[in-house]
A and B are shown apart, each in its own frame.
Chain A
């Protein structure tokens, strides 16, 4: 099977419009999370990482929704100077999102036309047409592992030779729909989230988009590679993670085996680390079971919040920058170990020779995903 290279990428978030801007901000410990008091979002003030309205050009024609404008902004920057042509018959667009245009249910009158406008295949088609992609775009919507699953889907389609290039874009926006849902689960933190910390009280939500461009073309062989990945299901509960972490461990071990690596070969773990009590505990168990408890680990949720369908992409791209710059980022919000298995949570900016990174995520429906990147 051919190698799959990461040709170009973009993060479009409240703290930056390019990958470079984002990495610089995160390196300086700057977070997008702020307190927002906006009654359209929630009655009480809430911490979240959100775009200011000024970050968006208002599209008077309403050709594209806010969600789609985010996707377009991210893809545009990633494709620029990448050498990959959207209109190439060998290129496919893959979209990742959990809720897409669902905010239209809050602002628009209910009608059959609206239902089609909300559908994620409609957004995918509009974005594909905007850039001139000729192949039918794909849409992955698999809860909070959507971003990693979209990377794996792209990797497989490129590896199997179905396409030479895959442009993978993920985004989610935060409105009352999503926020009230997590609040109904008592899952929202009363302060900026604190992954793996003893005093963590839950998730902080975040908005963002990210794009990763993959190719099997050997001219990119000096770039970072996607070595492999895997997905598993807990088969335990639809909204609570596994009690043992065995299923996430299963996905991690399968990802390592496909990548041809052992636990000892991994230099950095970019965890899901949502800062809910149960997720972080389960993840720590899985990391320890997989023999990765000594490997430097971080969660980036303290900078971005949980960006849902974009999270796997944003966090993978930041971790790939870590590999390139040989720099491990601290886990913002973490102070005191708060999980029962001792894992190596990174607390300060640490220069280190890095070659490989494992990225994990888990989500509602009992799903787990793991992917391995390497120089």
Chain B
């Protein structure tokens, strides 16, 4: 591969563009495709779009030889509502799993750089922040504040998107009360089912780090389409 092409690929990744590296396995040539910025309909672009959409690279036959389409989707995103102790553990664990993490909390003493060095912080109200950050099907949202004033607007915003995972901290009792409030707002039983609450896999987690691990595990299982007991 030519180093200038690698530079362009790396820049595209930093700019969070959806990019495909097409490598001709027969003659060794490479080029970059931006299938969602290029509206042309060609068999190769169509294959590249499918590869990005399914998050799976693919090999295709063309008249010039065999092409390997490697995909570079922007990182998955995690929005954590509530810059609480668990968030301090969840943010770096999710970052290690290659998520782009944003912690949302309008309470400045919680969402401080001191508590979250190197993590994106957003001090707007969750509904306002999420409206602009536009979570999509490659995003997860976890609410951790325990405070309905902050959690509910975030959950309502989350339910109006197609994020792959929604988790809400709180006991079964808290969760039942939350369901009642959302029900009054017109959300359906199907909507409620999208909310993982109590959040996380039941691994007996106690400390903030252990709870963060249980959340990360449940998020991963959901992402990978694994049925959980």
Judge: A and B partners, yes or no: no
Report B's interface with A, CB cutoff 8 A. Answer: none
Report A's interface with B, CB cutoff 8 A. Answer: none
